[in-house]
Chains A and B, each alone.
Chain A
Amino acid sequence: MENPRHWRLKKQRYALVGEICPHCAVKIFPPRDVCPECGLEAKTSYQFSGKGKIYSYTKMTDGPAGFRQNAPYFVALIQLNEGPMITAQLTDVGDEEIKIGSPVEMVTRKLREDGDQHGAILYGYKFRPVLQEVSA
């Protein structure tokens, strides 16, 4: 049961809200209130587009508590178009489609359940291959 933590992180998990440094304009995710580049205070909110590329990935055959029943699944480092890198699961993919460098986009998916502990079902960002538009 970590309800305060999940509540506190809702903007990051649901909307990819980070920060932009008012001094050097670097975009920051996860938010940390201090710019990792210039070291000055950076509390201005910034919403990321959710578009990026796969920088690296691995297939998890065993997960941490709360994720084991979903294994195997893919976890990747995603380089967001705005600059920062984030760790996230890949979703809506088959084994053969994943390549380093492939474009991906954020979607909201179920991350985990609290098992049989009657806790919250946790939702948050995952990334899927960018969908191609189909003409009508």
Chain B
Amino acid sequence: MKTNRSSKQGPAITGVGRIRVSEYWDRSISSLAAEAIRLAVSNAGDPPIDAIYIGNAFGTILSRQANLGALIAAQSGYRHLESSTFEAAGASGAAAVRAACLAVESGFVGTAVAVGVEKISDVVTSEAEDAKNLTLNYEYETAQGLTADGQSALIAARYLKTYDQDRSIFRSLVLNSYENAKKNRYSRNNAGLSPNVYDRQSCPAAPLGLFDIAQLSDGAAAVVITRAASVENGGNFRPVRILASANATSQLSIHDRHQILVYSAAAESASCALNQAAIRLKNIDAFELSDATAIDLILSLEAIGLCRPGFGWKADRLALNQGGGNIGRGNPTGASGIYQIAEAIDWLHGQPAPKTVFVQALGGAAATAITHILASE
């Protein structure tokens, strides 16, 4: 995608659908995804759909189910449709959105649905945690007894040491996330988090506490994407333009990175997206950033250039994670990238409405970063 496009160029979102992030003991992965797809398509005014791209991180292990494309397309009521899965850990949903953008922009596909789905509650918690650890390097991290939360803790511990801080820097970010989630009707947590409860939390991976780590949850969310040029105005849903879509990676293992406190994939993906959209960072109105743990959010803010190194925890004047992020809303890993997009759309359709929202999803410890920049018409 090139820069300086007119308002009718590039892909646009014409419908969104999602279920509340929760635990759905009585439902399957395909049932959750199908509901989100049907809600999104209905929201878009029931256009003909040419492809479904699925973002999912752990279905092969948690639901013992591969080839979700065929399963979910059929369960959603579509026969013979193009459909396949995209996996990039916590950025899987964003990868599906990017696939839909590439598909409609190429001209091979007229209208695509990007759906993110995660079904955690089919197994006991320890098995779900083991699935989360699949995002590590198995031979050199997991085989040493490290977990995904432990990996974030290693980064966080070094951050606190480098900048001579203590773990209290996570407090206001986390409490703020829970506060924002109170207004999100699709959030797992609507009751907020009392500072007293936060202060009494256990530390499963010091220096990260229980509430500094987003809770794995079930969820499904979908968006309908087509070319802006073919959007007809006048429906119920005010279309949202996708000004940029960029994916960048860095080393999977944090021990392979030159600077552990620099999320270089997040920086690269952000700068690539800003170039595509021909917009400067200071002209972006609002941000939806990834927070599988509190340190992810801090280092994203620093990598993108919103805060100076060592000050990411002080981002209190920024329009940030209105829906509560993964920490407040709950973390449906492979779906979270599309919940972020949906929450950005809430923002664009809200009052007062920002004109542009920057959305970035991270996979693993920011090994993958996928950025989308959304704009109202």
User: B137-145, B236-244, B301-309: which lies at the A interface?
Assistant: B137-145
Question: What CA separation (Å) do A82 and B254 show in the bound complex?
Answer: 18
Closest chain B residue, CB of each to CB of A84:
B255
Name A75-92 residues within 8 Å CB distance of B: 75-77, 84-89
Q: Judge whether A115 is part of the interface by a CB distance below 8 angstroms.
A: no
Evaluate contact between A87 and B140: CB separation under 8 angstroms.
Answer: yes
Evaluate contact between B144 and A56: CB separation under 8 angstroms.
Answer: no
Evaluate contact between B145 and A59: CB separation under 8 angstroms.
Answer: no
Q: Judge whether B335 is part of the interface by a CB distance below 8 angstroms.
A: no
Q: Judge whether B26 is part of the interface by a CB distance below 8 angstroms.
A: no
B144 to chain A: which residues have CB within 8 Å?
75, 87-89, 111, 124
Question: What CA separation (Å) do A89 and B142 show in the bound complex?
Answer: 11
B154 to chain A: which residues have CB within 8 Å?
56-58, 75-77, 87
Interface size on A, residues (CB 8 A): 33
Evaluate contact between A63 and B205: CB separation under 8 angstroms.
Answer: no
Q: Judge whether A11 is part of the interface by a CB distance below 8 angstroms.
A: no
Question: What CA separation (Å) do A75 and B143 show in the bound complex?
Answer: 11
Q: Judge whether B203 is part of the interface by a CB distance below 8 angstroms.
A: yes
Q: Judge whether A22 is part of the interface by a CB distance below 8 angstroms.
A: no
Question: What CA separation (Å) do A76 and B251 show in the bound complex?
Answer: 18
Name B105-150 residues within 8 Å CB distance of A: 126, 129-130, 133, 139-147, 150
A5 to chain B: which residues have CB within 8 Å?
139
Evaluate contact between A64 and B145: CB separation under 8 angstroms.
Answer: yes
CB 8 Å contact bits of A47-85 with B (1 = contact, 0 = none): 000000001111111111101101001011100000011
**Cβ 8 A contact of B140, one of A64, A67, A86, A122:** A86
Would you give the shortest CB distance from B165 to chain A, in whole angstroms?
Answer: 13
Instruction: Tell me the dominant secondary structure on chain A's binding face.
Output: strand
**Cβ 8 A contact of A86, one of B150, B155, B204, B255:** B255
Evaluate contact between A111 and B255: CB separation under 8 angstroms.
Answer: no
Interface size on B, residues (CB 8 A): 32
**Cβ 8 A contact of B206, one of A59, A112, A122:** A59
Q: Judge whether B62 is part of the interface by a CB distance below 8 angstroms.
A: no
B280 to chain A: which residues have CB within 8 Å?
none
Evaluate contact between B140 and A58: CB separation under 8 angstroms.
Answer: no
Q: Judge whether B158 is part of the interface by a CB distance below 8 angstroms.
A: yes
A36 to chain B: which residues have CB within 8 Å?
251, 256
Q: Judge whether B231 is part of the interface by a CB distance below 8 angstroms.
A: no
**Cβ 8 A contact of B254, one of A60, A67, A77, A88:** A77
Evaluate contact between A64 and B256: CB separation under 8 angstroms.
Answer: no
Question: What CA separation (Å) do A73 and B158 show in the bound complex?
Answer: 18
A9 to chain B: which residues have CB within 8 Å?
139
Question: What CA separation (Å) do A122 and B145 show in the bound complex?
Answer: 12
Evaluate contact between B139 and A112: CB separation under 8 angstroms.
Answer: no
Question: What CA separation (Å) do A124 and B139 show in the bound complex?
Answer: 11
B141 to chain A: which residues have CB within 8 Å?
87
Question: What CA separation (Å) do A62 and B207 show in the bound complex?
Answer: 14
CB 8 Å contact bits of B271-300 with A (1 = contact, 0 = none): 000000000000000000000000000000
Evaluate contact between B157 and A56: CB separation under 8 angstroms.
Answer: yes
Closest 6 CB pairs of A and B: A58-B153, A56-B158, A85-B255, A67-B145, A56-B154, A56-B157
Residues of chain B having any CB pair with chain A under 8 Å = 126, 129-130, 133, 139-147, 150, 153-155, 157-158, 161, 202-207, 251, 253-256, 260
